[in-house]
Amino acid sequence: MSTLIISMDVFDAIRTRRSIREYKPDEINKEDLEKILEAGRWAPSAENNQPWNFVVVTDDATIAHVIDSIPWGKFMRNAPLIIAIVTDPEVETHIIDGALVTQNMALEAWDLNIGTCWVYEMDRDKIKKILGIPKEKHVLTVLGFGYISKVDDSHACRKELEEITHYGKW
Ligand SMILES: Cc1cc2nc3c(=O)[nH]c(=O)nc-3n(C[C@H](O)[C@H](O)[C@H](O)COP(=O)(O)O)c2cc1C
């Protein structure tokens, strides 16, 4: 495969990915789950610190319990799988590193016809208790995953490049 084709695939995934909030109930197959986790594991991080852990949950009752702690995350009720991305605040760049994990997972999922969506606001202490996450860690986000039922294109727009790009000088 030529380099050109590889870069076009990456660009296509980046360009077409959407946040998905409606999922089919089918469970995520093991190979797909492993690819999503691997995509997260291979994210870059400052000094290759890899200040992250992933908590994978497929139990419906636990998923429901976690979602109760996420005010804008009710859409995840349909998701057969959630993954908590947990970072280590002792590492200065943990939020940035964890965000890269999240985007890697989202893009790999998209390629597998699996949707997901960031959520930010949540009761992190409650989620730590439910999932047994050590107190000193940070729950960056909880991602719901499911085979895509509906694509919402309402935010498939971005600021124009001319508006945000400055060549040579601002
Ligand atoms: C840090 C962050 C937090 C977000 N929080 C939420 C959220 O709480 N609920 C939600 O439905 N979407 C959330 N989103 C998804 C954004 O609304 C979405 O990415 C944006 O509108 C662009 O749409 P697109 O991802 O479909 O291109 C969040 C995205 C990011 C990056």
pLDDT score, position 1: 47
Give me the mean pLDDT over the 129-138 stretch. Answer: 98
Residue nearest to atom 20 of ligand 1 (CA): 155
Q: Which helix (H) or strand (E) holds 139?
A: strand 138-150
Domains of the chain: 3-149 (3.40.109.10)
Checking if the pLDDT of 24 tops 90, the result is: yes
Between the CA of 155 and the centroid of ligand 1 the distance, in Å, is: 9
Nearest to 20 by CA among 157, 154, 123, 140: 154
pLDDT given for residue 7 in this prediction? 53
User: Could you tell which of 21, 67, 118 is best to mutate to test the pocket of ligand 1, judged by most ligand atoms within 8 Å of the CB?
Assistant: 118
**Tens digits of per-residue pLDDT, 97-115?**
999 999 999 999 999 999 9
CA of 19 to the centre of ligand 1 (A): 6
Q: DSSP class of residue 167?
A: S
Shortest-distance atom of ligand 1 to CA 121:
8
Instruction: Give the predicted TM-score (pTM) of the model.
Output: 0.95
Mean pLDDT of 26-32: 98
Q: Is 120 in the pocket of ligand 1 (CB under 6 A)?
A: yes
Q: What pLDDT digit, counting tens, does each position of 64-75 carry?
A: 999 999 999 999
Say which residues have a Cβ less than 8 Å from residue 130's Cβ, sequence separation at least 6: 62, 65, 66, 69
| Statement: residue 140 has pLDDT above 70 | yes
